[in-house]
Amino acid sequence: MRAAALGGGLHDLVQGLGSFRLWTLLGWLDIRQRYARSTLGPFWITLSMGVMVGAMGVVYGTLFGQPMARYLPMVGDGFVVWGLISGVLNESCGAYINNANYIRQNNAGLWVYVFQVAWRQVLMFGHNAVISLALMVAFGFPAAGVAWLAVPGFLLLLANVVWMGQLLAILSARYRDVPQMVACLVQIFFYVTPLMWRPDMLHHYRWILDYNPFSALVDISRAPLLGMAPASQSWLVAAGMAAVGWPVAILVSARKLHLIAYWV
């Protein structure tokens, strides 16, 4: 029974991945729509992130008494990575709710809409990556020997947020409190994940790091950009989450996706 459900769910997932032309187009249309008729267009994404990184970096760097050359890249790259995590988690909640008109009109498979959200966020991440580049130009490039680790790190991060996104999309379609709850939790995780502070500033509250899965996800994708190798524990945690999360997401999808048309 469970094996059959897993097989069926996997089939849906593969079918959804196969419709990449559809979800890349839908994701791009969202971006275009959001910045339609503005002069800067999608570069507002870059600009607003740049302003935030600059302002927060300078204020908190001064507050914490940190050298800017070290602190600003850490905050900047951290915000860029966090933008992707929080973007996928928050907006996945609306993946089914906001696409009700398409869902009730087409039978195109439902993974498409979660991939649409993920793709939209990847596009935004692409715009924000300009900031990481600017910080490297200003404060020095990381050694090529570790920098390439950002690629597998980013892919593993993405793999994790997408399975979370699928579960959140299903839950949100059924329980309309979930989007609000997620927004609240993501806000909390923003503060307890080492984005604005360095782990060694924590002293005896290290457990906050050890029990926060998002610090592992941030570590594997940000540390290489700062010229450091991510902790091996971070790789383990991230890979473990994906290994557990994906089967769960596929199983839940196999059981619940057929109800989405009724719930939206």
> Residue 163 CB, nearest distance to another protein (Å)?
21
Nearer to another protein among residue 23 and residue 154 (C-beta): 23
Nearer to another protein among residue 18 and residue 140 (C-beta): 18
Nearer to another protein among residue 39 and residue 101 (C-beta): 101
> Residue 110 CB, nearest distance to another protein (Å)?
11
> Residue 101 CB, nearest distance to another protein (Å)?
4
Nearer to another protein among residue 54 and residue 94 (C-beta): 94
> Residue 100 CB, nearest distance to another protein (Å)?
9
> Residue 124 CB, nearest distance to another protein (Å)?
18
CA angle 186, 188, 69 (to 5 degrees): 95
Residue 237, token pair as written in the block:
């945690």
Residue 56, token pair as written in the block:
């927060």
Nearer to another protein among residue 141 and residue 175 (C-beta): 175
Nearer to another protein among residue 37 and residue 204 (C-beta): 37
Nearer to another protein among residue 198 and residue 258 (C-beta): 258
> Residue 13 CB, nearest distance to another protein (Å)?
16
> Residue 34 CB, nearest distance to another protein (Å)?
10
DSSP labels, the chain: -HHHHHHHHHHHHHHHHHTHHHHHHHHHHHHHHHTTT-SSTTHHHHHHHHHHHHHHHHHHHHHTT--HHHHHHHHHHHHHHHHHHHHHHHHHTHHHHTTHHHHTT--S-SHHHHHHHHHHHHHHHHHHHHHHHHHHHHH-PPPHHHHTTHHHHHHHHHHHHHHHHHHHHHHHHH-TTHHHHHHHHHHHHHHHSTTSS-GGG-GGGTHHHHT-HHHHHHHHHHGGGGT-PPPHHHHHHHHHHHHHHHHHHHHHHHHHGGGHHHH-
Binding site for another protein (CB under 8 A): 19, 21-22, 25-26, 29, 32-33, 36, 101-108, 174-178, 181, 258-259, 261-263
